Amino acid sequence: MKLFRIKPVYAHCDLPCGVYDPAQARIEALSIKAIMEKYDGLDEHGKLRAVMIIEQRAELVKHHLWVLWTDYFKPPHLEQYPDLHQKFWLATKQAGACKHHLDTAEADKLLAMIDDIAKIFWETKK
């Protein structure tokens, strides 16, 4: 006896597109920058905690970017934006670089890279 029937579903992405948003990566990158800005005013314990939080947030940035890169963007997007892989690769590398620097300029670079990816993302959603 068959209780239910599975029908094939076809979509541009793995899940309904509304679940993807580069804003998640941007929020984590903004957190990294905010912590970097406060770092010098922290005590020794606070500085240790700040470094740990920066590392966690950088990993979250990479996670959110990887989800967009691997689940949302498809071959037609790469045809339209041939440097898309390079943009993601450099942005995830920059997230890693933020774990090794306390210079807000590094966080600004990451934010600019995320904004560049977000621009492409929103262009594909039109």
Residue 125's pLDDT is what? 87
Q: Specify the CATH number for the domain of residue 86.
A: 1.20.120.400
83 is a domain residue: yes
Residue 9's pLDDT is what? 55
pLDDT tens-digit map of 79-113: 999 999 999 999 999 999 999 989 999 999 999 99
The predicted model gives 41-64 an average pLDDT of: 97
6 is a domain residue: no
64 is a domain residue: yes
16 is a domain residue: no
Q: Running DSSP on this structure, what letter comes out for residue 13? A: S
Q: Give CA–CA dist 38/108, Å, rounded.
A: 15
Residue 119's pLDDT is what? 98
92 is a domain residue: yes
Residue 18's pLDDT is what? 61
- Please give the residue that has the higher pLDDT: either 4 or 13: 4
User: Total structural domains in the chain?
Assistant: 1
Compute CA 115 distance to the chain's CA centroid, rounded to the nearest angstrom: 10
11 is a domain residue: no
C-alpha torsion sign, points 51, 109, 122, 15: negative
12 is a domain residue: no
What percent of the chain stands above pLDDT 70? 89
DSSP string across the chain = -----------SSSS-GGG--THHHHHHHHHHHHHHHHGGGS-HHHHHHHHHHHHHHHHHHHHHHHHIIIII--HHHHHH-TTHHHHHHHHHHHHHHHTT---HHHHHHHHHHHHHHHHHHHHHT-
The predicted model gives 55-59 an average pLDDT of: 98
33 is a domain residue: yes
Residue 15's pLDDT is what? 53
Give me the domain span that covers residue 50.
21-124
